[in-house]
Amino acid sequence: MRTKYFLLLTAGAIASLSLNGCGAKTKSDEYDRYNRLKISVSNLYFGDYEGGDSYLEQIQNDFGVKFTLYSYPWDTWEQKVSGEVNSRNLSDVFHANIDSYNFGSSYKFWAEDGILKPLPEDLSRWPNLNAMLENTSNIDALKLNGKLYGIPVAKNTSDYSCTFSPFTYIYRRDWAKKYGVYQENDEYTWTQFEALLKAFKKNLPSDTYALGDVEWGAPSITNFYKQVPHCFAYDEATNKYVCNYTTNEYIKGLNEAKRFKQQGYYYEAQNEAADGELNKLYYGNRIGVFYENLSYTNFNDLRRQLITSNTDTPNFNIDDAVAIMKIRGEDGKYVLEGTDNWFSMTLFDNRISNKKLEKILDILDYLLSEEGTRFAIYGFEGYDYNMVDGKVVIDEDYWPKELDGEYARKDNGGKYLRYLATLGYDTLSYDPLTHKPTVKYLENWEKEMHEAYDNGELKVLKERTEVMWLTTKWKSKLSGGMRKAALKNAMKYMWSDPEVDTISKYKDKFGYPWPEVLEEINNALGK
Amino acid sequence: MAKIKLEKLPLARREKPGPSNRFGAFDVVIFIILLVFAFSIIFPFYYLFVVSVTPQEIYVNNPTLLWTPKVSFEAYETVFKEPQIWGGLKITLILLFGGTLYQMFFTVITGYALSRKNWVGKNFVMNMILVTMFFGGGLIPYYELIVALGMPDTIWVMIIPGAIDTFNMLLMRNYFASLPKELEESAKIDGANDIQIFVKIFLPLSLPMLATVGLFFAVGNWNSWYNGMLFNKSQNLKTLQQVLQDVVYTPNSSIPNPNARKITTESIKMAAIFFTIIPMMLFYPFLQRFFVKGIVVGAIKG
C-alpha cells in the first residue's frame, strides 16, 4: 500500500514539473530599482561584451530600460537557439541564423507556432528602421500573412541593384611577380590563371601549395561552370528543377577541379581540411591562391596575421601578399555568389509586452538615425568627438591612439545594440576602428565588380527566388544535409576515392532523397 | 624425555641467474614498445609547450618544429592578462571545491545508507538509482527539467544536478559494506547513535575510498563544461574549459562578423591549453595511486 502511495506521489511530482515546463503565456514586465524596464538580449555578435560602459548606461537612462546582454557562442549558436526555442527559455530579444535553407524549419515554423512576436504592421513611428527594412532584399518572402516576425540584420546597405558575397580569390602577388606570371591590375584569364598555378607549383617548396579553398567553399573551381550556388538548378528544356550537382555544367566544373588536383595545384589535404586550416596555411606563407570570404573582418584579420607571421621577412609588402585576384572563367566572365543584403534575424519572444517591443524599436530607430549612428561609432559629442563645419573631429585626448597608430578599442554599448539591426558595414568607411586603406581597397573591388555586372562581364550565381524561399516538408528538413553530402562526394571524386572515382559512381550518390525532394518541389511549383 | 632431533634444513641455494633473469631480446622489444608508448604520451605535451614558447613568425614557417630557435613567453603574458581566463578559473575553482564537497556529501551519505542492513524501501531506492546508470531520461527532458526548475544561467546548474554519481556511490556503498559489522554493533553497545557511528567510525576508516571518490569528482569538476555550455549564457559563468574552447575555436569564416577579432596565434592557443592542464598534470601523478587502491578495496565485497 505504501509503495502504491509512493509511486503515485512520484508520478504526481513528475507531472507537475512537466506542466510547469509548459511555461507562462506572457512574460510580465519587470523594472529595476530606477524604474527602468528590464530587457534581456542574446546575440552572436556581443562576443565578450556584457555592458557596463557609460554609452550603454546613457541609452538605458534615455530610454528607461535596463539591458541584460548575453552572447551566443560561435560554434553552437544554432543549437543554442534551437534549444532555447524548444524549451521556451528565450531572452526577450534573440538572434537566429535564418536563411532560405532553414526558413521553413525555423522562422516560419516558429512564427506559426506562436513563438515569435510580429513587428507592428505600421512602422511609420520608426522611420529609420522602416527605411532599412524597405531596402531589405526578399523582405516579402519573410512576411507571413502580411506580418514580419523580426528584423533581418542588414549586411550590405549599398544602393546597387545586385548584391553578391565577397567569396573570391586572393593571391600572393609578390610570388607572381617573382616567377614572372603577374598580370596587370591582377586580371587573369582562365589560361593565365592556370599558368600562374603552374608556375607556383613548379617554383614553390613541396610543402607550399599553389591553390587552396576555404573549407566550406571547396571546390571553388566549379563556380566558373555551375548555374546556381547550391542544390536546385532550373532546367529550361524540361521546365523542371533538377539537382545542380549532376548537371552537365557542374560536372564539367568538377572535372576541371579534378584536373587541377591531378596537376598538383591543390593543397594536398584539402579534402579533409579542418576549420581554419587553409586560413592558417595562407598566413603561414604556404598557399599561393586562396578562395575565401573577403568580408572586411576576414580580410583585415588575414592581413594582420600575415604581418605578424612575416615580422622577420625583409621588404615584406602586405599589399602584395593579399591582393584580390580577378579571374575570368573560360566564358570570359568573372563569377561571384549572389546573396541577400542581410544575414540572420533579430527575433522577439512572443511573450514580451508590446511596450517592451516598442522600447526596443525606439532604441534601434535612434541608433539607425544620423545622430544615433554617430553615437554608436564615436561616442559622446563634445567628449569623444566634436562637430566642426559639419564634420566629425575626434578628440584624441579622450580617444587616444595605440602605439601602432590605430585608435584604442573601447566598448560602446550603442555599437553592439546596433548589431540587432545592422552589421555596421554602412559605417566601415568612417569608423575610427577600421583600417581605412583596407576598406577602400575592398570598396574599389566591389565597385569594379558592379561595373562588370552592368557590362555583362560578371556572372552572379543565385537560385531562383521561387525555389529559394519555397517551403515544402522534405526540402525544409533535408536540403541542408543534402548540400553537405553533395559537396563531400564532389571532393571524394576529385581525390579519386575508390567509392566515387568515376562520374557514374558519383552520380549514383544522388539517389534518395534527391528525386523525392525534387519531385516535391516541382509539384509544389506546378512544374 | 625423548630427545627431539632437529634436522638441519638445507639453506636455500642461491641460484645462478638463469636465462629468464637476463635482459633478453624479448625484454628489449617490450622496452622499445613501452618507450614508444611513453613517448607518444609525452610528446603532445612537449609539443604543446614548444609551440607555446615559439613566436608566430617562426611557427607558421615551420609548424613541425621540435624545438624553437627563439624562446618567447609573450603568449603566456597574453593569456595571463586575459580577464576571461581568470574569470573561468574562478568559476572552475568554485566548482572544484564547492561542487566536490557537495557531491561527496550526498554520494557518501547515500552510499552509507544503502550499505546498512535492510530498511524499508532500500531495494527500491537502490534500484531506482541503479536504473539511472543504464538508462538516462534523455537530453530534452533533462533540458526541460532544468528550465522548469529555473536553474539556467546560474552557477547552480553546474553543481546541483550532479549531487550523486551512481558509480561513485556504488564504490562507497561497497566499501562501507566491506567493513566489519561488529564495529557498528560494538559502537551501539557503547551507546553511539547512527550519526556518531557514521562520523566517528566509518568515515575515518574509509579515507582511501573517500580520497578516490573525491579525486574522481575533483577531476570531473576541473574539466566541467557540459552543463555550462548547455544552460548558461552569461560570460561570467563560463568555466575554464569553456573559455579555453573560445580561445582555440576558429569561427567559420562564411558567417559575417563585424567585430575585429583578437589575433589568437597558435602559441596563445597552446599557452592557454597548457595553463588549463598544468594543475592536473602537477597533482594527478601524486594522487592517482588512490584511484587504483580505492577501486580495488571497494571491489572486495559486492
Q: What is the DSSP string of B16-80?
A: PP-GGGS--HHHHHHHHHHHHHHHHHHHHHHHHHHHHTS-HHHHHH-TT-SS-SS---HHHHHHH
Give CA–CA dist A280/A346, Å, rounded.
Answer: 32
User: Which cell is B196 given?
Assistant: 556518531
Q: Does B81 touch chain A (CB under 8 A)?
A: no
Residue found under cell 613568425? B57
Nearest CA-CA distance, residue B145 and chain A, Å: 7
* Beta carbons of B258 and A45 less than 8 Å apart: yes
The string of pLDDT tens digits covering residues B141-160 is 898 899 899 999 999 999 99
Contacts of A195 (CB under 8 A, 6+ apart): A181
* Beta carbons of B258 and A216 less than 8 Å apart: no
What is the layout of strands, in order, in the sheet containing A65-71? A65-71, A37-43, A93-96, A342-348, A151-154
Residue pair A405/A380 in contact (Cβ under 8 Å)? The answer is no
State the pLDDT confidence band at A16, using cuts at 50, 70 and 90: low
The arithmetic mean of pLDDT across residues A22-35, rounded, is: 82
* Beta carbons of A297 and B140 less than 8 Å apart: no
Contacts of B89 (CB under 8 A, 6+ apart): B240
Enumerate residues 156 to 195 of chain B having a beta carbon within 8 A of any beta carbon in chain A.
none
Backbone φ and ψ for B197, nearest 5 degrees, come out as: -60, -45
* Beta carbons of A74 and B145 less than 8 Å apart: no
State the pLDDT confidence band at B247, using cuts at 50, 70 and 90: confident
List of chain A residues whose C-beta atoms are within 8 Å of the C-beta of residue B145: 17, 21
List of chain A residues whose C-beta atoms are within 8 Å of the C-beta of residue B257: 45, 295, 297-298
The rounded percent of chain B whose pLDDT value lies above 70 is 87
Closest chain B residue to A216 measured between Cα atoms?
Answer: B254
User: Which cell is A279 given?
Assistant: 586560413
Each domain of chain B, given as residue ranges in start order, spans: 28-72, 77-250+262-298
The string of pLDDT tens digits covering residues A80-132 is 999 899 888 899 999 999 988 888 889 999 999 999 999 999 999 999 999 99
Nearest CA-CA distance, residue A323 and chain B, Å: 18
State the pLDDT confidence band at B138, using cuts at 50, 70 and 90: confident
| Matching CATH number, B77-250+262-298, of 3.40.50.720, 1.10.1060.10, 1.10.3720.10, 1.10.8.640 | 1.10.3720.10
State the pLDDT confidence band at A400, using cuts at 50, 70 and 90: confident
Residue pair A423/A376 in contact (Cβ under 8 Å)? The answer is no
Work out the number of other CB atoms within 10 angstroms of the CB of residue B200: 12
- DSSP states of B189-232: HTT--HHHIIIIIIHHHTHHHHHHHHHHHHHHHHT--HHHHHH-
Contacts of B218 (CB under 8 A, 6+ apart): B96, B100
Contacts of A303 (CB under 8 A, 6+ apart): A318, A322, A435, A438
Of B143, B255, B261, the CB nearest to A301: B261
Instruction: Give the number of beta-carbon pairs within 8 Å between A and B.
Output: 122
Most B-contacting residue of A19, A74, A402 (CB-CB within 10 A), to test interface: A74
Output B16-21 pairs: Cβ under 8 A, ≥24 positions apart.
none
Give CA–CA dist B9/A227, Å, rounded.
Answer: 99
Residue A121: the pLDDT is 94
The arithmetic mean of pLDDT across residues A69-80, rounded, is: 91
Residue pair A94/A125 in contact (Cβ under 8 Å)? The answer is no
Closest alpha carbon to B46 in B288, B208, B273, B296: B273
Residue B10: the pLDDT is 60
List of chain A residues whose C-beta atoms are within 8 Å of the C-beta of residue B263: 301, 304-305, 308
List of chain B residues whose C-beta atoms are within 8 Å of the C-beta of residue A310: 57
DSSP code of residue B260: P
Which residue type, as a one-letter code, is found at position A16?
A: S
Give CA–CA dist A147/B103, Å, rounded.
Answer: 51
Residue A377 has pLDDT above 80, yes or no: yes
Of B56, B143, B252, the CB nearest to A87: B143
Residue B13 has pLDDT above 60, yes or no: no
* Beta carbons of B144 and A3 less than 8 Å apart: no
State the pLDDT confidence band at B302, using cuts at 50, 70 and 90: very low
Closest alpha carbon to A141 in A471, A382, A414, A462: A471
Which residue type, as a one-letter code, is found at position A237?
A: A
Nearest CA-CA distance, residue A445 and chain B, Å: 18
Residue A494 has pLDDT above 70, yes or no: yes
Q: Does B64 touch chain A (CB under 8 A)?
A: no
**Domains assigned to chain A:** 25-160+341-427 (3.40.190.10), 167-336+441-524 (3.40.190.10)
**What distances in angstroms separate CA A171 from CA A54, A166, A193, one per listed residue?**
43, 15, 11
Of B56, B251, B260, the CB nearest to A309: B56
The string of pLDDT tens digits covering residues A470-485 is 989 899 889 889 999 9
State the pLDDT confidence band at A522, using cuts at 50, 70 and 90: very high
Give CA–CA dist A325/A281, Å, rounded.
Answer: 18
Q: Does B246 touch chain A (CB under 8 A)?
A: yes
**What distances in angstroms separate CA A287 from CA A14, A206, A296, A443, B227, one per listed residue?**
59, 11, 20, 25, 40
CA atoms within 13 A on the CB side of A40: 18
Nearest CA-CA distance, residue A479 and chain B, Å: 18
Give CA–CA dist A270/A272, Å, rounded.
Answer: 6
Most A-contacting residue of B143, B149, B254, B269 (CB-CB within 10 A), to test interface: B254
Residue pair B133/B167 in contact (Cβ under 8 Å)? The answer is yes
Residue A360 has pLDDT above 50, yes or no: yes
Residue B300 has pLDDT above 90, yes or no: no
The string of pLDDT tens digits covering residues A129-171 is 999 999 998 899 999 999 999 999 998 766 666 789 999 999 9
User: Which cell is A347 given?
Assistant: 527575433
The pTM for the full model equals: 0.85
* Beta carbons of B257 and A300 less than 8 Å apart: no
List of chain A residues whose C-beta atoms are within 8 Å of the C-beta of residue B258: 45, 297, 419, 423-425
* Beta carbons of A88 and B147 less than 8 Å apart: yes
Of B148, B230, B258, the CB nearest to A419: B258
Residue pair B165/B106 in contact (Cβ under 8 Å)? The answer is no
Closest alpha carbon to B245 in B281, B269, B267, B275: B269
Q: Give the DSSP H/E element, type plus range, for residue A343.
A: strand A342-348
Contacts of B93 (CB under 8 A, 6+ apart): none
Residue B132 has pLDDT above 90, yes or no: no
Residue A286 has pLDDT above 70, yes or no: yes
List of chain B residues whose C-beta atoms are within 8 Å of the C-beta of residue A50: 234-236
Nearest CA-CA distance, residue A39 and chain B, Å: 15
* Beta carbons of B256 and A155 less than 8 Å apart: yes
Residue B301: the pLDDT is 47
Nearest CA-CA distance, residue B295 and chain A, Å: 34
User: Which cell is A289 given?
Assistant: 591562391
* Beta carbons of B144 and A70 less than 8 Å apart: no
The arithmetic mean of pLDDT across residues B184-205, rounded, is: 92
The string of pLDDT tens digits covering residues B17-66 is 555 567 788 889 999 999 999 999 999 999 999 999 999 888 887 888 88
Q: Does B16 touch chain A (CB under 8 A)?
A: no
* Beta carbons of A47 and B234 less than 8 Å apart: no
Closest chain A residue to B152 measured between Cα atoms?
Answer: A89
Give CA–CA dist B133/B168, Å, rounded.
Answer: 11
Give CA–CA dist B286/B292, Å, rounded.
Answer: 12
The arithmetic mean of pLDDT across residues B169-191, rounded, is: 91
List of chain B residues whose C-beta atoms are within 8 Å of the C-beta of residue A97: 255
Backbone φ and ψ for A187, nearest 5 degrees, come out as: -95, 125
Q: Which range (A293-297, B138-142, B281-285) has the least confidence?
A: B281-285
**What distances in angstroms separate CA A170 from CA A203, A445, A454, A491, B77, one per listed residue?**
19, 12, 23, 22, 33
Q: Which of A268-282, A295-309, A345-359, B137-151 has the highest mean pLDDT?
A: A345-359
Of B148, B254, B259, the CB nearest to A45: B259
The rounded percent of chain B whose pLDDT value lies above 90 is 49
Length of chain B: 302
Q: Which residue has the higher pLDDT, B263 or B143?
A: B143
* Beta carbons of B143 and A83 less than 8 Å apart: yes
Give CA–CA dist A275/B230, Å, rounded.
Answer: 22
Residue pair B54/B270 in contact (Cβ under 8 Å)? The answer is no
Of A48, A50, A216, the CB nearest to B252: A216
User: Which cell is A165 given?
Assistant: 558575397
User: Which cell is A503 given?
Assistant: 562520374
The rounded percent of chain A whose pLDDT value lies above 70 is 94
